[in-house]
Chains A and B, each alone.
Chain A
Amino acid sequence: MHIGLFIPCYIDQFYPQVGIATLELLEKQGLRVSYPLEQTCCGQPMANSGFEHLTADCSKNFIRNFERFDYIVCPSGSCALHIKEHVHDDQSEEKAVSIRKRVYELTEFLTDVIQLKSLSAKFPHRVGLHQSCHGLRGLHLAQMSELVAPKYSKPEQLLKLVDGLELIQLDRQDECCGFGGTFSVFEEAVSVKMGQDRMADHLKNGAEYITGADMSCLMHLEGLLKRDNSSMNVIHIAEILNSKA
């Protein structure tokens, strides 16, 4: 099994430690992982702004970088979902279709493909899990609060394997944080208010850390926490799962 590591552009540029944690975590499971060096971005920033027609070159580049792997693993539900739903190639659509089926978000890859049952990780903190919307309602990483259906949560399942970690319950289980890509700048007022409310929910319920499977939501929350001089921090789930025992 050869895994292609897909590191979203903003993680590559701003949060290299999340990429490193993802890589190390996968390697610890004895997996063969490579990072194709010519990768850039999934194309989502353009597509969600209405410019999907400008993403053709991004898609082609993605396919070129990742077509040789058995699985493509990404520490972002949003970027993984974008590939699954929107990667196309007018010259060879079958390549795009095949790629779309092989893309996994990190936590679903760990629970569903390699069926991880134990971890040697320790994180003795109270942690709140922010369920990012695309991972939740797009990839179904956990049961959605709107549906009348049995409960499950892949990220929670993994966090429960971490020694010392106390998962706090939120008042609003899966409310959006307000990041929303370019929404965060074009609808700044609402975006910020949503983020502040999300922060307050974690704070009220005693979280020391907000974690999640999407660094973009965490980047937005981190920006608000820092401006607020809050003692609460954000941390990507890969960093927790990769923390030293």
Chain B
Amino acid sequence: MQQHQTHAELAEQFNRDINRVNWHDQTLWMVREKRDKAAQQVPDWEQLRETASQIKNHTLAHLHAYLLEFEQQALANGIQVHWAADAEEHNRIVHRIIQEHGVDRIVKSKSMLTEECGLNEYLLQQGIEVVDTDLGERIVQLAGEPPSHIVLPCIHWKKEEIGELFHQHLGTPKGNADPDFLTRAARAHLREHFMMRRVAITGVNFAVAETGEFVVCTNEGNADLGAQLADVHIACMGIEKIIPKRNHLGVFLRLLARSATGQPITTYSSHFKKPGPGKALHIVLVDNGRSTRLGSDDFRNALKCIRCGACFNTCPVYRRSGGHSYHTAIAGPIGSILAPALDMEKHADLPFASTLCGSCTNVCPVKIDIHQQLYTWRQVLIKNGHASSTKKAGIQLTGMVLSKPWLFRVSGKVARWIMRTFPGLMNNRFNPWTKQRELPMPPKQSFRDWYVNNRSHD
């Protein structure tokens, strides 16, 4: 991903292929509709969201105690616990464990944390091959791309393109684009990797402080196959994945898959509590900026995220700009409030890649105020100097005009006169408004002019 291209530029490129935009939008809207249908079948849905939100709020307020409790219980269960202050340390820890077992090829199931940390690239540099085993992730991995969606990693790929990709990499017959056939081909290809690998990495959906266990949710069963066939299971998690009690899983698992795909629950919700006989189980607890965000009243709330992706599917901008336009591991509305906290300079454009329509906040199963945070991030970014000088000058001028009633009236009158008299001056290809839209027809009289002539006034 080129760092200098903004969301607006990348989105403009995405929009050059209108059929693809329509297809992308409609596919994701279908997922949003499935989510709605699933939620409607749970009469206590809104209560459930509220409870989930409160559990997360409570957990964040007592995170120190719950982290200690989790560590203590996990150690007692025979799990090896590691702490990583940042992405680099996380990658080093994982690499060290792999090295200790003397292997150079591993399997990995979906983990947005490892995407955030750039684990695959790091391990590759150390000479370790990582095979992503989630079908969608494997597809984008073969294509040399990052995932474009946290739940549906290759939602931007058409089956014909996947058929061609598999033809090149897996030797499937050219021109076969049947999803059933391609999935079977991937199953056979990945089964070989599962059978050979001694180290498996998984993500973590929830870690229970009370019991020291952690839960991994998948539909494909790839996390389980990897973990059960390997001698070593490394589970990587952000410190915000802790929940206090086992029975809280009832709340979150009722919400997660319904929000994500409209399923009542994922096929597999595996609770890993102890290592198998003769096997090793590791957990890497990663901070990478989370403890700092915990201190922010404005942005703490984003740590409640359970990575369901519902905000992606409902976001009218995401659906029409594609995940890669966000140039960050986690795209979409939630990515737009997470990414600037990691690198404000690089991601300064993302909080502006939204109309602030608020749909994301409404679908969020843990009630993160996503669109409010997008608004607040805008204020923070501008205060930190992340605005172009022309934009800044334009807004400053607008602010000045609008704060002085006489100036507003005079400018309005002049502007309307110019627009009426020289329409070409405003209506040209350099004006982004008029590239594909007409300007309103400016009237001779403003409402105020009319009012002064037609009503008595002070």
**Contact between B46 and A15, CB atoms less than 8 A apart:** no
A116 in contact (CB, < 8 A): no
Q: What CA separation (Å) do A138 and B372 show in the bound complex? A: 11
CB contacts (< 8 Å) of B317 on chain A: these are 187, 190, 194
Q: What CA separation (Å) do A41 and B405 show in the bound complex? A: 9
Q: Which among B42, B356, B391, B412 has the highest number of chain A CB atoms within 10 Å?
A: B356
A1-22 to B contact mask, C-beta < 8 Å, 1/0: 0000001010111111011100
Closest to B310 in A: A146
CB contacts (< 8 Å) of A223 on chain B: these are 433-434, 437-440
CB contacts (< 8 Å) of B408 on chain A: these are 9, 40-41
CB contacts (< 8 Å) of A160 on chain B: these are none
B180 in contact (CB, < 8 A): no
**Contact between A51 and B8, CB atoms less than 8 A apart:** no
A133-158 to B contact mask, C-beta < 8 Å, 1/0: 11011100000111111000000000
**Contact between B458 and A148, CB atoms less than 8 A apart:** no
A128 in contact (CB, < 8 A): no
A193 in contact (CB, < 8 A): yes
**Contact between A35 and B398, CB atoms less than 8 A apart:** no
Q: Which among A14, A34, A178 has the highest number of chain B CB atoms within 10 Å?
A: A14
Chain A binding surface SS class: helix
CB contacts (< 8 Å) of B379 on chain A: these are 47, 50-53
A230-241 to B contact mask, C-beta < 8 Å, 1/0: 000000000000
**A186 with B8: in contact, given A148-B39, A224-B436, A227-B437 (CB under 8 Å)?**
yes
A226 in contact (CB, < 8 A): yes
Of A54-62, A93-101, A107-115, the one touching chain B: A54-62
Could you pull out 14 A-B pairs where Cβ atoms are within 8 angstroms? A13-B416, A40-B404, A50-B352, A53-B379, A54-B395, A137-B358, A137-B359, A148-B45, A178-B355, A183-B354, A188-B8, A224-B436, A226-B438, A227-B436
Given contacts A178-B316, A193-B15, 4 further A-B contacts (CB under 8 A): A12-B446, A147-B46, A188-B435, A222-B440
What is B's interface to A at a CB cutoff of 8 Å?
A: 7-8, 11-12, 14-15, 18, 21, 25, 29, 36, 39-40, 42-43, 45-46, 314, 316-317, 320-321, 351-359, 361-363, 371, 375, 378-379, 381-383, 387, 391, 395-396, 398-399, 402-405, 408, 412, 415-416, 432-443, 445-452, 455, 457-458
